[in-house]
Amino acid sequence: MSALRRAMAWVIDFALVVSVASLLAVLTFNRMSALVTDVPELAARGGFDLLTSRGDVLGASGTLGTSLWDRSVGYVQQAFVLLAVAAYLYQWACLALAGRTLGKALTGLKVTPRTPRRAALRAAVTTATDVVVYAVACVLLVEGEMLLSVLVWLAAVALFLLNALPVLGSRRRSLADRVAGTSVTAVRLSMPAAMSRVRTS
């Protein structure tokens, strides 16, 4: 089993994660746009803040702006949480039910042994290294924590490499494999079995 096949499987699986991220980005943008385009709600809130501001117009407008910003950041945070949950459920369900993700199935790979507990551990590590830590870095960036965001992003890169680079070694086991006690093996289909499948399809 070559590292190239593992890499191809990861690219396919990560492309699915990116697709989900794109859908969530569109949904989040529409939710944020609705905050601005909902003129009656903005007018009512702005008018109430103005009436209760005792002449502090700048303070009233600042309160409205802060409220919109907080809700927008909340939408972004929710999108990243949903992305992490979706990535975990995809990994866990595929591994627990079939012993392989779509990427591994297309490249002829399988995770063994296949048990719900091992699938849950492997999915957790994979999701953390591929999605969660990067998501935390992005949320920190949105919240204005630039330095902390960069540090977390560097930690995310280091964690990703810590998970991926061992695949190049002789044992071909990633960090996720070591934590879950699994290994990725190539699935070989014998020629007679392959021919019989072709005839019955």
pLDDT in tens, 11-46: 999 999 999 999 999 999 988 888 767 555 555 554
Least trusted range by pLDDT, from 10-24, 33-47, 68-82, 95-109: 33-47
The pLDDT > 70 percentage for the chain reads 78
pTM score of the predicted model? 0.78
**Helix and strand element counts for the chain (H, E):** 9, 2
Please give the structure tokens belonging to residue 7. 């890499």
Residue 11 to residue 167: CA distance in whole angstroms: 15
User: Which of the residue ranges 120-129, 156-165, 191-200 would you say has the lowest mean pLDDT?
Assistant: 191-200
Residue 48 CA to residue 161 CA, distance in Å, equals: 53
Written as six digits, the tokens of 20 are 């989900």
Q: Residue 172: which pLDDT band, with cuts at 50, 70 and 90?
A: confident
Backbone torsions φ then ψ of 68, nearest 5 degrees: -65, -40
Structural contact between residues 53 and 60, judged by C-beta atoms closer than 8 angstroms: yes
Instruction: Report whether pLDDT(170) > 60.
Output: yes
* Average model confidence (pLDDT) across the chain: 82
> Residue 197: what pLDDT?
47
- In the numeric block, the tokens 């909902």 are attached to 38
What pLDDT does residue 187 have? 83
Q: How would you class 20 by CB atoms within 10 Å of its CB: exposed for 0-12, middle for 13-18, buried for 19 or more?
A: middle
Q: How confident is the model at residue 64 (pLDDT cuts 50, 70, 90)?
A: low
Q: What is the rounded end-to-end Cα distance, in angstroms, of the chain?
A: 28
CA dist 137 and 115 (Å) reads: 32
Work out the average pLDDT over 140-166: 93
129 and 175 in contact (C-beta within 8 Å)? yes
Report the pLDDT averaged over residues 80-95.
96
* 3-class SS of residue 172: coil
Nearest to 94 by CA among 102, 82, 83, 86: 102
